[in-house]
Amino acid sequence: MDTYLNLLRKELRPAMGCTEPAASALAGAKAAELLGVKPTSLTVVTSRDMVKNAMGVGLPNCSLKGIQAAVALGACGGATSKGLSILSELSDDQIACAGAVPVGLSIGTDIPSLYIKVIAKHDELSSVAIISGEHDRFSYLEQNGKELLNLPVDTCGTVLAEEDERLVGAASLADLLEYVKTAPQEALDLVLEAQETNMAIARHSLDHSYGLSVGRIAAEPIGKEPKSLAEAFCLGSAMAAAASDARMAGCPLPVIINSGSGNQGITLTVPVAVVASYLKSSKETFARALLLGQMIGLGLTARKNRLSALCGAFTAAIGTSCSLVYLLGGELEEMDRAFNTMVGNLTGIICDGAKMTCALKIYSCVEAANLACKLAFRGLSPGNESGIVGKTSRESMDFLSRISHEGMEETDKTILSIMLGKQS
């Protein structure tokens, strides 16, 4: 069985808007579906990371923000069949209903970072829907007190997590590169389709103003056609930021996600597409470069919590740096250098929720990936005497995992405390 291909099939999926609000809307829609009528009240119990990642992001097709609004939109007419694209279409009645239904919110304890519980009520009727572990995985369903589904709430009980564990236990950068060089056509098709979707929102954002317009402004000196490799690198950074500008502002165009994150999906596809286009890379070389980055992104996420205080754009950009090395004809030695340079450069960049400044972080992370690629071909990278950089990329992966799990738990709590404090 091709474990990696199965992982790609599950992970490279379309999402409309930020994935945490989409998951919240999906939970709300399921609770209302079980209730059978429009709820008169909703109660949400969720993790601090879900709240953090939904607090400042725009929701597609409306002016609402936040996890409570997302749940209400789902409960007021969302179709569960749309999955994480549940917010792709909203009616005026649905938006009005979402603004009127009361939604209580509390932050749970001793729950996974990816967890949302919605309780819906209407007179004597009640229902419960819980999503946990993965953004579209229902782990508990209840209808009028009758339990319909009860799975382990944490990712340890999912098939996806079992595959993640295999990835953690077995896959080094060398392993992933070996797979990429012989990967089947279906894997290549998946990553090519992903970049087409993500390039569409990037191109759209260059012509429209969203958020801070990070990408649009960064691209202005270059235009849409780079005249040198240096300009192609810079345009790749700008277009990745542009896609995030649009996505975080609620642009109603889909993104293909990686590790449950649209911003990670953008980071792993758009810059690579821009550079490959300038280089006139063959379709196969381009596809295998994309696949390498996607696999590294998945592998690194498997070593940390999907939602954590460590910015996902940073870990995704490590994959981007290796994709760029692949495009330019580099091998494992250069990729190992680029990987370690990224770890020595940006480790510790925090996630303070999904919002307009994600575009800034993506731009910075991709620019760092560009630099790591250039240094790698000069034979340069930090050695293991440098902070948390390992002797090899494999050792650096282990150090990143420790930073995420052991080092940033309190940081995560402090970030949310600051964010909630600003609303009081």
| pLDDT values of the chain reduced to their tens digit, one per residue, 424 residues | 578 898 899 889 998 777 888 899 999 999 999 999 999 999 999 988 888 777 777 788 888 888 999 999 999 999 999 998 898 888 999 999 999 999 999 989 888 888 999 999 999 999 999 999 888 899 999 999 999 999 987 654 444 455 555 554 468 999 999 999 999 999 999 999 999 999 999 999 999 999 999 999 999 999 999 999 999 999 999 999 999 999 998 898 999 999 889 999 999 999 999 999 999 999 999 999 999 999 999 989 888 766 678 899 999 999 999 999 999 999 999 999 999 999 999 998 998 888 899 999 999 999 999 999 999 999 999 998 999 999 999 899 888 888 887 888 788 888 878 887 876 6
Supply the pLDDT for residue 159.
47
Please state whether the predicted TM-score (pTM) of the whole model is above 0.85. Answer: yes
Distance CA 191, CA 198 (A): 11
CB 22 within 8 A of CB 85: yes
Supply the pLDDT for residue 170.
64
Q: At what angle do helices 159-170 and 3-11 cross, to 10 degrees?
A: 130
Distance CA 394, CA 390 (A): 8
Report residue 166 as tokens.
Answer: 């295999």
Distance CA 77, CA 95 (A): 9
The three-state DSSP-derived secondary structure of the chain is CCHHHHHHHHHCCEEECCHHHHHHHHHHHHHHHHHCCCCCEEEEEECHHHHHHHHCCECCCCCCECHHHHHHHHHCCCCHHHHHHCCCCCCHHHHHHHHHCCEEEEECCCCCCCEEEEEEEECCEEEEEEEECCCCCEEEEEECCEEEEECCCCHHHCHHHHHHHHHHHHCCHHHHHHHHHHCCHHHHHHHHHHHHHHHHHHHHHHCCCCCCCHHHHHHCCCCCCCCCHHHHHHHHHHHHHHHHHHHHCCCCCEEECECCEHHHHHHHHHHHHHHHHHHCCCHHHHHHHHHHHHHHHHHHHHCCCCCCCECHHHHHHHHHHHHHHHHCCCCHHHHHHHHHHHHHHHCCCECCCCCCCHHHHHHHHHHHHHHHHHHHHCCCCCCCCCCCCCCCHHHHHHHHHHHHHHHCHHHHHHHHHHHHHCCC
Distance CA 298, CA 316 (A): 8
Supply the pLDDT for residue 163.
52
